[in-house]
Protein backbone atom coordinates (compact mmCIF):
# COMPACT_ATOMS: atom_id res chain seq x y z
CA UNK A 1 0.00 0.00 0.00
CA UNK A 2 3.07 2.19 0.06
CA UNK A 3 2.23 3.80 -3.25
CA UNK A 4 -1.44 4.46 -2.48
CA UNK A 5 -1.74 7.96 -1.11
CA UNK A 6 -5.18 7.31 0.38
CA UNK A 7 -4.16 4.14 2.17
CA UNK A 8 -0.85 5.12 3.71
CA UNK A 9 -2.33 5.63 7.17
CA UNK A 10 -0.09 7.10 9.83
CA UNK A 11 2.86 6.97 7.43
CA UNK A 12 1.14 9.58 5.31
CA UNK A 13 1.07 12.06 8.18
CA UNK A 14 4.78 11.57 8.76
CA UNK A 15 5.73 11.79 5.09
CA UNK A 16 3.56 14.79 4.33
CA UNK A 17 4.98 16.52 7.40
CA UNK A 18 8.51 15.77 6.25
CA UNK A 19 7.78 17.00 2.72
CA UNK A 20 6.32 20.22 4.12
CA UNK A 21 9.45 20.69 6.24
CA UNK A 22 11.72 20.22 3.22
CA UNK A 23 9.59 22.64 1.18
CA UNK A 24 9.98 25.15 4.01
CA UNK A 25 13.74 24.53 4.03
CA UNK A 26 13.88 25.20 0.28
CA UNK A 27 11.80 28.35 0.64
CA UNK A 28 13.54 29.70 3.76
CA UNK A 29 16.61 31.40 2.23
CA UNK A 30 14.60 32.94 -0.60
CA UNK A 31 11.95 34.47 1.68
CA UNK A 32 14.50 35.41 4.29
CA UNK A 33 16.72 37.37 1.91
CA UNK A 34 13.76 39.35 0.59
CA UNK A 35 12.65 40.24 4.14
CA UNK A 36 16.16 41.24 5.17
CA UNK A 37 16.60 43.53 2.19
CA UNK A 38 13.89 45.78 3.69
CA UNK A 39 15.36 45.59 7.22
CA UNK A 40 17.11 48.61 8.62
CA UNK A 41 19.93 46.75 10.38
CA UNK A 42 23.34 47.23 8.86
CA UNK A 43 24.37 43.91 10.48
CA UNK A 44 21.43 42.00 9.04
CA UNK A 45 19.89 41.38 12.44
CA UNK A 46 16.64 39.43 12.33
CA UNK A 47 13.91 40.32 13.01
CA UNK A 48 14.94 43.76 11.75
CA UNK A 49 14.63 46.68 14.17
CA UNK A 50 12.81 48.67 11.48
CA UNK A 51 11.97 48.73 7.80
CA UNK A 52 13.68 50.80 5.13
CA UNK A 53 14.29 51.16 1.40
CA UNK A 54 17.79 52.48 2.03
CA UNK A 55 19.60 49.44 0.58
CA UNK A 56 17.61 49.67 -2.64
CA UNK A 57 18.43 53.38 -2.90
CA UNK A 58 22.11 52.61 -2.41
CA UNK A 59 21.97 49.81 -4.96
CA UNK A 60 20.15 51.76 -7.65
CA UNK A 61 22.21 54.88 -6.96
CA UNK A 62 25.48 53.04 -7.50
CA UNK A 63 26.49 53.06 -11.19
CA UNK A 64 28.82 50.07 -10.73
CA UNK A 65 25.85 47.83 -9.82
CA UNK A 66 23.78 49.10 -12.73
CA UNK A 67 26.74 48.66 -15.07
CA UNK A 68 27.31 45.11 -13.89
CA UNK A 69 23.63 44.22 -14.38
CA UNK A 70 23.59 45.69 -17.88
CA UNK A 71 26.82 43.88 -18.78
CA UNK A 72 25.34 40.60 -17.55
CA UNK A 73 22.15 41.12 -19.51
CA UNK A 74 24.05 41.99 -22.66
CA UNK A 75 26.38 38.99 -22.44
CA UNK A 76 23.59 36.59 -21.49
CA UNK A 77 21.39 37.77 -24.36
CA UNK A 78 24.16 37.30 -26.90
CA UNK A 79 25.26 33.95 -25.48
CA UNK A 80 21.67 32.68 -25.39
CA UNK A 81 21.03 33.78 -28.96
CA UNK A 82 24.18 32.09 -30.25
CA UNK A 83 23.58 28.94 -28.20
CA UNK A 84 20.00 28.61 -29.48
CA UNK A 85 20.95 29.12 -33.13
CA UNK A 86 23.98 26.83 -33.04
CA UNK A 87 22.08 24.35 -30.87
CA UNK A 88 19.14 24.33 -33.28
CA UNK A 89 21.37 23.39 -36.20
CA UNK A 90 23.15 20.78 -34.11
CA UNK A 91 19.83 19.33 -32.96
CA UNK A 92 18.73 18.65 -36.54
CA UNK A 93 21.90 16.71 -37.09
CA UNK A 94 21.68 14.86 -33.77
CA UNK A 95 18.06 13.83 -34.29
CA UNK A 96 17.89 13.27 -38.04
CA UNK A 97 21.46 12.61 -39.08
CA UNK A 98 22.29 9.11 -40.23
CA UNK A 99 25.91 8.67 -39.45
CA UNK A 100 28.06 6.66 -37.12
CA UNK A 101 29.18 8.40 -33.99
CA UNK A 102 25.98 10.40 -33.57
CA UNK A 103 25.80 9.44 -29.91
CA UNK A 104 29.47 10.30 -29.48
CA UNK A 105 28.84 13.71 -31.03
CA UNK A 106 25.91 14.23 -28.70
CA UNK A 107 28.01 13.28 -25.69
CA UNK A 108 30.77 15.62 -26.85
CA UNK A 109 28.43 18.59 -27.26
CA UNK A 110 26.96 17.98 -23.81
CA UNK A 111 30.34 17.62 -22.04
CA UNK A 112 30.58 21.33 -21.09
CA UNK A 113 27.68 20.68 -18.73
CA UNK A 114 29.44 17.80 -16.99
CA UNK A 115 33.03 18.94 -16.74
CA UNK A 116 33.59 20.89 -13.52
CA UNK A 117 33.31 24.55 -14.47
CA UNK A 118 36.52 25.41 -12.69
CA UNK A 119 38.53 23.22 -15.09
CA UNK A 120 36.95 24.90 -18.11
CA UNK A 121 37.36 28.30 -16.46
CA UNK A 122 41.13 28.13 -16.05
CA UNK A 123 41.54 26.42 -19.44
CA UNK A 124 39.64 29.08 -21.38
CA UNK A 125 41.20 31.84 -19.29
CA UNK A 126 44.72 30.63 -20.14
CA UNK A 127 43.73 30.34 -23.80
CA UNK A 128 42.16 33.81 -23.91
CA UNK A 129 45.14 35.33 -22.13
CA UNK A 130 47.28 34.06 -24.98
CA UNK A 131 45.07 35.29 -27.81
CA UNK A 132 44.08 38.55 -26.12
CA UNK A 133 40.41 37.81 -25.46
CA UNK A 134 40.60 37.70 -21.64
CA UNK A 135 38.54 40.45 -20.08
CA UNK A 136 36.67 41.24 -23.30
CA UNK A 137 32.97 40.99 -24.08
CA UNK A 138 33.74 38.68 -27.01
CA UNK A 139 35.65 36.35 -24.71
CA UNK A 140 32.80 36.33 -22.20
CA UNK A 141 30.22 35.60 -24.90
CA UNK A 142 32.25 32.73 -26.38
CA UNK A 143 32.86 31.10 -22.99
CA UNK A 144 29.23 31.48 -21.92
CA UNK A 145 27.94 30.20 -25.27
CA UNK A 146 29.93 26.99 -24.69
CA UNK A 147 28.43 26.59 -21.23
CA UNK A 148 24.92 27.44 -22.47
CA UNK A 149 25.03 25.14 -25.51
CA UNK A 150 23.99 21.91 -23.69
CA UNK A 151 21.07 23.77 -22.12
CA UNK A 152 19.93 24.73 -25.62
CA UNK A 153 20.57 21.35 -27.25
CA UNK A 154 18.69 19.22 -24.70
CA UNK A 155 15.23 20.85 -24.97
CA UNK A 156 15.47 21.39 -28.74
CA UNK A 157 16.45 17.77 -29.48
CA UNK A 158 13.67 16.60 -27.16
CA UNK A 159 11.15 18.74 -29.05
CA UNK A 160 12.46 17.64 -32.42
CA UNK A 161 12.26 13.97 -31.44
CA UNK A 162 8.61 14.49 -30.61
CA UNK A 163 7.86 16.14 -33.95
CA UNK A 164 6.43 13.99 -36.73
CA UNK A 165 8.74 14.47 -39.69
CA UNK A 166 6.12 13.32 -42.21
CA UNK A 167 4.36 16.68 -41.77
CA UNK A 168 7.48 18.40 -43.01
CA UNK A 169 7.74 15.90 -45.87
CA UNK A 170 4.12 16.61 -46.77
CA UNK A 171 4.91 20.31 -47.10
CA UNK A 172 7.72 19.44 -49.49
CA UNK A 173 5.45 17.20 -51.54
CA UNK A 174 3.09 20.17 -51.79
CA UNK A 175 5.87 22.24 -53.32
CA UNK A 176 7.73 23.86 -50.43
CA UNK A 177 11.49 23.86 -50.56
CA UNK A 178 13.15 21.88 -47.73
CA UNK A 179 14.27 25.17 -46.22
CA UNK A 180 10.77 26.67 -46.40
CA UNK A 181 9.29 23.53 -44.91
CA UNK A 182 11.64 23.65 -41.95
CA UNK A 183 11.16 27.37 -41.42
CA UNK A 184 7.38 27.42 -41.69
CA UNK A 185 6.36 23.97 -40.48
CA UNK A 186 9.03 22.47 -38.25
CA UNK A 187 10.24 25.52 -36.34
CA UNK A 188 6.77 26.65 -35.24
CA UNK A 189 6.01 23.10 -34.11
CA UNK A 190 9.05 22.88 -31.85
CA UNK A 191 8.73 26.43 -30.52
CA UNK A 192 8.25 25.28 -26.92
CA UNK A 193 11.60 23.52 -27.08
CA UNK A 194 13.24 26.58 -28.61
CA UNK A 195 11.66 28.82 -26.02
CA UNK A 196 12.88 26.62 -23.14
CA UNK A 197 16.31 26.56 -24.74
CA UNK A 198 16.39 30.36 -24.81
CA UNK A 199 15.40 30.67 -21.13
CA UNK A 200 17.79 27.98 -19.90
CA UNK A 201 20.76 29.25 -21.87
CA UNK A 202 20.08 32.83 -20.82
CA UNK A 203 20.05 31.73 -17.17
CA UNK A 204 23.17 29.61 -17.67
CA UNK A 205 25.06 32.75 -18.64
CA UNK A 206 23.27 35.22 -16.36
CA UNK A 207 24.03 33.13 -13.24
CA UNK A 208 27.50 32.00 -14.22
CA UNK A 209 30.13 32.85 -11.60
CA UNK A 210 33.25 30.76 -11.99
CA UNK A 211 34.35 31.57 -15.54
CA UNK A 212 33.27 35.16 -14.92
CA UNK A 213 35.53 35.52 -11.87
CA UNK A 214 38.55 34.64 -13.98
CA UNK A 215 37.48 36.51 -17.07
CA UNK A 216 36.40 39.76 -15.42
CA UNK A 217 38.57 42.84 -15.70
CA UNK A 218 38.32 46.05 -13.67
CA UNK A 219 36.30 47.56 -16.49
CA UNK A 220 34.18 44.54 -17.38
CA UNK A 221 32.24 42.92 -14.55
CA UNK A 222 29.10 40.85 -14.64
CA UNK A 223 26.54 40.95 -11.86
CA UNK A 224 27.65 37.64 -10.27
CA UNK A 225 31.23 38.92 -10.17
CA UNK A 226 30.07 42.10 -8.47
CA UNK A 227 28.07 40.10 -5.91
CA UNK A 228 30.99 37.72 -5.39
CA UNK A 229 33.29 40.64 -4.68
CA UNK A 230 30.86 42.14 -2.15
CA UNK A 231 30.38 38.78 -0.44
CA UNK A 232 34.10 38.34 0.01
CA UNK A 233 34.42 41.84 1.43
CA UNK A 234 31.47 41.95 3.84
CA UNK A 235 27.85 40.86 4.10
CA UNK A 236 26.47 44.27 3.13
CA UNK A 237 22.65 44.52 3.03
CA UNK A 238 23.03 46.06 -0.44
CA UNK A 239 23.72 42.51 -1.63
CA UNK A 240 20.41 41.49 -0.04
CA UNK A 241 18.66 44.16 -2.09
CA UNK A 242 20.39 43.01 -5.28
CA UNK A 243 19.56 39.39 -4.43
CA UNK A 244 15.91 40.21 -3.84
CA UNK A 245 15.66 41.86 -7.23
CA UNK A 246 17.15 38.67 -8.71
CA UNK A 247 14.59 36.57 -6.83
CA UNK A 248 11.86 38.81 -8.20
CA UNK A 249 13.24 38.36 -11.70
CA UNK A 250 13.30 34.57 -11.28
CA UNK A 251 9.73 34.62 -10.07
CA UNK A 252 8.60 36.70 -13.08
CA UNK A 253 10.51 34.40 -15.41
CA UNK A 254 8.78 31.35 -13.91
CA UNK A 255 5.36 32.89 -14.33
CA UNK A 256 6.06 34.05 -17.88
CA UNK A 257 7.38 30.58 -18.74
CA UNK A 258 4.33 28.86 -17.30
CA UNK A 259 1.94 31.22 -19.13
CA UNK A 260 3.78 31.00 -22.44
CA UNK A 261 4.01 27.23 -22.27
CA UNK A 262 0.30 27.04 -21.69
CA UNK A 263 -0.35 29.41 -24.57
CA UNK A 264 2.11 27.78 -26.97
CA UNK A 265 0.98 24.25 -26.29
CA UNK A 266 -2.58 25.04 -27.30
CA UNK B 1 7.51 8.16 -47.99
CA UNK B 2 10.26 5.89 -49.23
CA UNK B 3 10.33 7.56 -52.63
CA UNK B 4 11.38 10.99 -51.47
CA UNK B 5 14.68 11.49 -49.86
CA UNK B 6 15.66 14.94 -48.74
CA UNK B 7 19.08 14.01 -47.65
CA UNK B 8 21.16 16.28 -49.73
CA UNK B 9 24.38 14.78 -51.06
CA UNK B 10 26.93 15.10 -48.33
CA UNK B 11 28.86 18.31 -48.31
CA UNK B 12 32.62 17.98 -48.66
CA UNK B 13 32.51 14.27 -47.98
CA UNK B 14 30.83 14.65 -44.60
CA UNK B 15 28.54 11.85 -43.49
CA UNK B 16 24.87 12.43 -44.28
CA UNK B 17 23.08 14.83 -42.00
CA UNK B 18 26.12 15.77 -39.95
CA UNK B 19 26.74 19.10 -41.68
CA UNK B 20 24.44 21.18 -39.53
CA UNK B 21 26.31 20.12 -36.40
CA UNK B 22 29.47 21.73 -37.77
CA UNK B 23 29.12 25.14 -36.10
CA UNK B 24 28.58 23.49 -32.72
CA UNK B 25 31.45 21.11 -33.30
CA UNK B 26 33.76 23.94 -34.34
CA UNK B 27 32.81 26.04 -31.33
CA UNK B 28 33.25 23.19 -28.87
CA UNK B 29 36.42 21.93 -30.55
CA UNK B 30 38.12 25.29 -30.76
CA UNK B 31 37.05 26.86 -27.46
CA UNK B 32 36.46 23.83 -25.26
CA UNK B 33 38.45 20.74 -26.27
CA UNK B 34 41.54 22.63 -27.40
CA UNK B 35 41.93 24.85 -24.32
CA UNK B 36 41.30 21.91 -21.98
CA UNK B 37 43.87 19.76 -23.78
CA UNK B 38 46.34 22.66 -23.75
CA UNK B 39 45.78 23.00 -20.01
CA UNK B 40 46.45 19.32 -19.46
CA UNK B 41 49.67 19.55 -21.46
CA UNK B 42 50.68 22.43 -19.28
CA UNK B 43 50.57 20.15 -16.24
CA UNK B 44 53.50 18.16 -17.64
CA UNK B 45 55.42 21.04 -19.24
CA UNK B 46 55.13 23.95 -16.82
CA UNK B 47 57.61 25.06 -15.46
CA UNK B 48 59.67 22.29 -17.09
CA UNK B 49 58.86 18.96 -18.80
CA UNK B 50 58.26 16.14 -16.37
CA UNK B 51 55.85 14.79 -13.80
CA UNK B 52 57.07 17.00 -10.94
CA UNK B 53 53.66 18.72 -10.63
CA UNK B 54 51.97 15.40 -9.98
CA UNK B 55 54.74 14.44 -7.57
CA UNK B 56 54.10 17.64 -5.60
CA UNK B 57 50.35 17.05 -5.71
CA UNK B 58 50.43 13.50 -4.36
CA UNK B 59 53.53 13.93 -2.23
CA UNK B 60 52.43 16.83 -0.09
CA UNK B 61 50.23 16.35 2.96
CA UNK B 62 48.42 19.62 2.23
CA UNK B 63 47.18 18.56 -1.19
CA UNK B 64 46.38 15.00 -0.17
CA UNK B 65 44.26 16.45 2.61
CA UNK B 66 42.41 18.57 0.03
CA UNK B 67 41.67 15.41 -2.00
CA UNK B 68 40.44 13.52 1.04
CA UNK B 69 38.33 16.43 2.20
CA UNK B 70 36.78 16.79 -1.27
CA UNK B 71 35.70 13.15 -1.22
CA UNK B 72 34.49 13.44 2.35
CA UNK B 73 32.33 16.50 1.65
CA UNK B 74 30.95 15.05 -1.59
CA UNK B 75 30.10 11.77 0.18
CA UNK B 76 28.39 13.45 3.13
CA UNK B 77 26.45 15.78 0.83
CA UNK B 78 25.35 12.88 -1.38
CA UNK B 79 24.25 10.74 1.57
CA UNK B 80 22.27 13.54 3.22
CA UNK B 81 20.73 14.57 -0.11
CA UNK B 82 19.52 11.02 -0.80
CA UNK B 83 18.06 10.64 2.70
CA UNK B 84 16.18 13.94 2.49
CA UNK B 85 15.14 13.62 -1.15
CA UNK B 86 13.73 10.10 -1.04
CA UNK B 87 10.67 10.72 1.18
CA UNK B 88 9.91 13.97 -0.66
CA UNK B 89 10.11 12.29 -4.07
CA UNK B 90 7.99 9.44 -2.74
CA UNK B 91 5.26 11.85 -1.63
CA UNK B 92 5.46 13.89 -4.84
CA UNK B 93 5.00 10.75 -6.88
CA UNK B 94 1.70 9.84 -5.21
CA UNK B 95 0.35 13.14 -3.84
CA UNK B 96 -2.81 14.70 -5.28
CA UNK B 97 -1.57 16.93 -8.13
CA UNK B 98 -2.93 20.13 -6.57
CA UNK B 99 -0.75 19.70 -3.49
CA UNK B 100 2.18 18.39 -5.46
CA UNK B 101 2.31 21.34 -7.81
CA UNK B 102 2.88 23.71 -4.88
CA UNK B 103 5.89 21.68 -3.77
CA UNK B 104 7.13 21.46 -7.37
CA UNK B 105 6.79 25.22 -7.67
CA UNK B 106 8.90 25.75 -4.55
CA UNK B 107 11.55 23.32 -5.83
CA UNK B 108 11.78 25.09 -9.19
CA UNK B 109 11.87 28.54 -7.57
CA UNK B 110 14.77 27.54 -5.34
CA UNK B 111 16.55 25.86 -8.26
CA UNK B 112 16.19 28.85 -10.56
CA UNK B 113 17.19 31.40 -7.96
CA UNK B 114 20.65 32.80 -8.50
CA UNK B 115 23.28 30.51 -6.97
CA UNK B 116 25.11 33.34 -5.22
CA UNK B 117 21.83 34.63 -3.79
CA UNK B 118 21.10 31.28 -2.19
CA UNK B 119 24.61 30.94 -0.84
CA UNK B 120 24.54 34.49 0.49
CA UNK B 121 21.28 33.74 2.29
CA UNK B 122 22.89 30.75 4.00
CA UNK B 123 25.93 32.82 4.96
CA UNK B 124 23.63 35.26 6.75
CA UNK B 125 21.38 32.57 8.24
CA UNK B 126 24.23 30.46 9.57
CA UNK B 127 26.57 33.12 10.91
CA UNK B 128 27.39 33.31 14.63
CA UNK B 129 24.77 35.96 15.29
CA UNK B 130 22.48 34.62 12.57
CA UNK B 131 18.84 33.66 12.79
CA UNK B 132 19.41 29.97 13.34
CA UNK B 133 21.76 30.43 16.27
CA UNK B 134 19.47 33.06 17.79
CA UNK B 135 16.41 30.88 17.39
CA UNK B 136 18.12 27.89 18.98
CA UNK B 137 19.39 30.05 21.86
CA UNK B 138 16.01 31.71 22.24
CA UNK B 139 14.39 28.31 22.57
CA UNK B 140 16.95 27.38 25.20
CA UNK B 141 18.27 24.43 23.17
CA UNK B 142 21.81 25.78 23.16
CA UNK B 143 23.56 28.37 25.33
CA UNK B 144 26.53 29.19 23.10
CA UNK B 145 26.21 29.95 19.37
CA UNK B 146 27.02 26.84 17.31
CA UNK B 147 29.82 27.14 14.74
CA UNK B 148 27.70 26.59 11.60
CA UNK B 149 29.76 28.40 9.01
CA UNK B 150 33.28 28.04 7.63
CA UNK B 151 33.23 24.34 8.45
CA UNK B 152 31.84 21.02 7.26
CA UNK B 153 28.39 21.74 8.69
CA UNK B 154 28.08 24.97 6.69
CA UNK B 155 29.24 23.41 3.42
CA UNK B 156 26.92 20.43 3.91
CA UNK B 157 23.84 22.57 4.56
CA UNK B 158 24.56 24.90 1.66
CA UNK B 159 25.38 22.10 -0.79
CA UNK B 160 22.46 19.84 0.17
CA UNK B 161 20.22 22.83 -0.40
CA UNK B 162 21.54 23.22 -3.94
CA UNK B 163 21.61 19.51 -4.79
CA UNK B 164 18.14 18.53 -3.51
CA UNK B 165 16.24 19.43 -6.71
CA UNK B 166 18.68 17.40 -8.81
CA UNK B 167 17.91 14.35 -6.67
CA UNK B 168 14.18 14.86 -6.10
CA UNK B 169 13.11 15.52 -9.69
CA UNK B 170 14.59 12.39 -11.34
CA UNK B 171 13.56 10.23 -8.37
CA UNK B 172 9.92 11.26 -8.78
CA UNK B 173 10.11 9.82 -12.28
CA UNK B 174 11.56 6.55 -11.04
CA UNK B 175 8.95 6.19 -8.30
CA UNK B 176 6.06 7.03 -10.61
CA UNK B 177 7.15 4.27 -12.93
CA UNK B 178 6.72 1.65 -10.19
CA UNK B 179 3.41 -0.18 -10.42
CA UNK B 180 1.44 0.36 -7.16
CA UNK B 181 -0.01 -3.12 -7.65
CA UNK B 182 3.28 -4.72 -6.67
CA UNK B 183 2.98 -3.07 -3.24
CA UNK B 184 -0.68 -3.93 -2.90
CA UNK B 185 0.26 -7.52 -3.65
CA UNK B 186 2.93 -7.41 -0.97
CA UNK B 187 0.43 -6.11 1.56
CA UNK B 188 -2.09 -8.80 0.59
CA UNK B 189 0.57 -11.45 1.09
CA UNK B 190 1.04 -10.16 4.61
CA UNK B 191 4.13 -8.00 4.31
CA UNK B 192 4.42 -5.29 6.94
CA UNK B 193 4.88 -1.75 5.58
CA UNK B 194 8.52 -1.89 6.64
CA UNK B 195 9.08 -5.18 4.87
CA UNK B 196 7.29 -3.97 1.75
CA UNK B 197 9.52 -0.91 1.77
CA UNK B 198 12.73 -2.86 2.30
CA UNK B 199 12.01 -5.68 -0.13
CA UNK B 200 10.00 -3.97 -2.87
CA UNK B 201 9.92 -0.18 -2.94
CA UNK B 202 13.59 0.34 -2.13
CA UNK B 203 15.02 -2.25 -4.57
CA UNK B 204 12.74 -1.04 -7.37
CA UNK B 205 13.78 2.59 -6.86
CA UNK B 206 17.46 1.80 -6.43
CA UNK B 207 18.47 2.51 -10.06
CA UNK B 208 17.03 6.01 -9.74
CA UNK B 209 18.70 6.55 -6.37
CA UNK B 210 22.04 5.37 -7.74
CA UNK B 211 21.83 7.52 -10.87
CA UNK B 212 20.74 10.63 -8.98
CA UNK B 213 23.23 10.03 -6.19
CA UNK B 214 26.08 9.63 -8.63
CA UNK B 215 25.11 12.86 -10.35
CA UNK B 216 25.02 14.73 -7.05
CA UNK B 217 28.37 13.21 -6.07
CA UNK B 218 30.00 14.22 -9.36
CA UNK B 219 28.59 17.75 -9.16
CA UNK B 220 29.72 18.10 -5.55
CA UNK B 221 33.27 16.95 -6.32
CA UNK B 222 33.92 19.88 -8.63
CA UNK B 223 31.82 22.50 -6.86
CA UNK B 224 33.45 25.84 -6.33
CA UNK B 225 31.16 28.64 -5.19
CA UNK B 226 29.39 27.22 -2.16
CA UNK B 227 32.41 25.53 -0.54
CA UNK B 228 34.47 28.66 -1.13
CA UNK B 229 31.92 30.84 0.67
CA UNK B 230 30.57 28.50 3.36
CA UNK B 231 33.61 26.31 3.98
CA UNK B 232 36.61 27.04 6.14
CA UNK B 233 40.26 27.34 5.25
CA UNK B 234 41.00 24.07 7.03
CA UNK B 235 38.64 22.04 4.85
CA UNK B 236 39.27 23.43 1.40
CA UNK B 237 37.92 21.50 -1.57
CA UNK B 238 39.65 20.68 -4.84
CA UNK B 239 37.93 23.24 -7.07
CA UNK B 240 38.79 26.09 -4.72
CA UNK B 241 42.35 24.87 -4.45
CA UNK B 242 42.68 24.81 -8.26
CA UNK B 243 41.31 28.33 -8.57
CA UNK B 244 43.58 29.62 -5.82
CA UNK B 245 46.70 27.91 -7.17
CA UNK B 246 46.17 29.54 -10.54
CA UNK B 247 44.74 32.91 -9.53
CA UNK B 248 46.67 33.82 -6.40
CA UNK B 249 49.81 31.69 -6.60
CA UNK B 250 50.05 31.85 -10.41
CA UNK B 251 51.29 28.26 -10.31
CA UNK B 252 49.75 27.12 -13.58
CA UNK B 253 51.58 23.80 -13.69
CA UNK B 254 50.32 22.62 -10.32
CA UNK B 255 46.83 24.02 -10.91
CA UNK B 256 46.63 22.20 -14.26
CA UNK B 257 47.73 18.93 -12.67
CA UNK B 258 45.03 19.24 -10.01
CA UNK B 259 42.49 20.12 -12.73
CA UNK B 260 43.52 16.99 -14.61
CA UNK B 261 42.91 14.83 -11.53
CA UNK B 262 39.47 16.38 -11.11
CA UNK B 263 38.70 15.88 -14.80
CA UNK B 264 39.67 12.20 -14.79
CA UNK B 265 37.65 11.39 -11.67
CA UNK B 266 34.61 13.32 -12.91
CA UNK B 267 34.63 11.83 -16.38
CA UNK B 268 35.08 8.29 -15.06
CA UNK B 269 32.08 8.69 -12.76
CA UNK B 270 30.12 10.31 -15.59
CA UNK B 271 30.80 7.28 -17.78
CA UNK B 272 29.36 5.04 -15.04
CA UNK B 273 26.38 7.38 -14.77
CA UNK B 274 25.77 7.07 -18.54
CA UNK B 275 25.78 3.29 -18.19
CA UNK B 276 23.21 3.54 -15.42
CA UNK B 277 20.69 5.80 -17.11
CA UNK B 278 21.54 5.40 -20.78
CA UNK B 279 23.06 8.18 -22.86
CA UNK B 280 19.66 9.53 -23.79
CA UNK B 281 18.59 10.72 -20.40
CA UNK B 282 21.95 11.91 -19.14
CA UNK B 283 22.01 15.55 -18.30
CA UNK B 284 19.39 15.69 -15.62
CA UNK B 285 16.20 17.52 -15.06
CA UNK B 286 15.70 19.61 -18.15
The pLDDT tens digits along chain A (266 residues) read 788 888 888 888 999 999 999 999 999 999 999 998 999 888 887 788 889 999 999 999 999 999 999 999 999 999 999 999 999 999 999 998 888 888 889 989 999 998 999 999 999 999 999 999 999 999 999 999 999 999 999 999 999 999 988 899 999 999 888 888 888 999 999 998 999 999 999 999 999 999 999 999 988 999 999 999 988 887 788 999 999 999 998 889 888 888 888 887 76
pLDDT at residue A233, as a whole number: 80
Q: What is the pLDDT of residue B14?
A: 59
* Amino acid A125: pLDDT: 96
For residue A225, being part of any structural domain is answered with yes
Residues A25 and A87 grouped into a single domain: no
Q: Quote the domain boundaries for residue A12.
A: 1-37
Domain B35-280 belongs in CATH node 3.90.1010.10: no
Q: Are residues A254 and A198 in the same domain?
A: yes
**Percentage, residues of chain B above pLDDT 70:** 91
Please say if the pLDDT value at position B170 is more than 70. yes
What pLDDT sits at residue B183? 87
Residues of A in Cβ contact (< 8 Å) with B165: 26
**What is residue B11's predicted lDDT score, i.e. its pLDDT?**
47
pLDDT value for B237 = 94
CATH number at residue A174: 1.10.3720.10
Please give the pLDDT value at position B116. Answer: 92
Q: Is residue A107 part of a domain?
A: yes
Asked if the Cβ–Cβ distance from A2 to B197 is below 8 Å, we say yes
The pLDDT, as a whole number, for residue A153 is 96
Is A101 contained in some domain? yes
Of A92, A172, A210, the CB nearest to B20: A92
Residue A21 inside a domain? The answer is yes
Contact B120 A146 (CB under 8 A): no
A5 with A84, same domain? no
Nearest chain B Cα distance for residue A57, angstroms:
19
Residues of A with Cβ-Cβ distance to B160 under 8 angstroms: none
Is the pLDDT assigned to residue B6 strictly greater than 70? Answer: no
Maximum average pLDDT range among A246-250, B19-23, B83-87: B83-87
Rounded mean pLDDT, B197-218: 91
CB contact under 8 A, B35 and A124: yes
Q: Give domain status of residue A78, yes or no.
A: yes
Contact (CB<8Å) B112/A203: yes
Least confident span in A80-89, B35-44, B121-130: B121-130
SS3 of chain B: the string is CCCCCCCCCCHHHCCCCCHHHHHHHHHHHHHHHHHHHHHHHHHHHCCCCCCHHHHHHHHCHHHHHHHHHHHHHHHHHHHHHHHHHHHHHHHHHHCCHHHHHHHHHHHHHHHHCCHHHHHHHHHHHHCCCCHHHHHHHHCCCCCCCCCCCCCHHHHHHHHHHHHHHHHHHHHHHHHHCCCHHHHHHHHHCCCCHHHHHHHHHHHHHHHHHHHHHHHHHHHHHCCCHHHHHHCCHHHCCHHHHHHHHHHCCCCHHHHHHHHHHHHHHHHHHHHHHHHHHCHHHCCCCC
In this predicted structure, the answer to whether residue B3 has a pLDDT above a threshold of 50 is: no
Q: What is the pLDDT of residue B171?
A: 94
Amino acid sequence: MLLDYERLGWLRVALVGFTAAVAAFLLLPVVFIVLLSFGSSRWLAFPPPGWTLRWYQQLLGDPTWIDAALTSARIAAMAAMLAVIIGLFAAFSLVRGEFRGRQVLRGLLLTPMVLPVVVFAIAIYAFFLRIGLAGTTVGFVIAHTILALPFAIIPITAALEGFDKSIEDAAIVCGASPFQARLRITLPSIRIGIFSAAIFSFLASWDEVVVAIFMASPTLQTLPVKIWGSLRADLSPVVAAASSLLVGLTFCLMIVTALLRRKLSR
Amino acid sequence: MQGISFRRSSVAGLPAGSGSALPALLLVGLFFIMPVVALLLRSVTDPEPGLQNYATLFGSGTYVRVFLNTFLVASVVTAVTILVAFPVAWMLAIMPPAMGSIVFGIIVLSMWTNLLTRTYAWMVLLQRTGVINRALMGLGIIHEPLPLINNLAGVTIGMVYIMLPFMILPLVGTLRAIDPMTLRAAALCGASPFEAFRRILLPLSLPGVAAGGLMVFVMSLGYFVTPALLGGTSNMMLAEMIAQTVQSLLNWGLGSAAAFVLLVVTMALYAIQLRLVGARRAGGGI
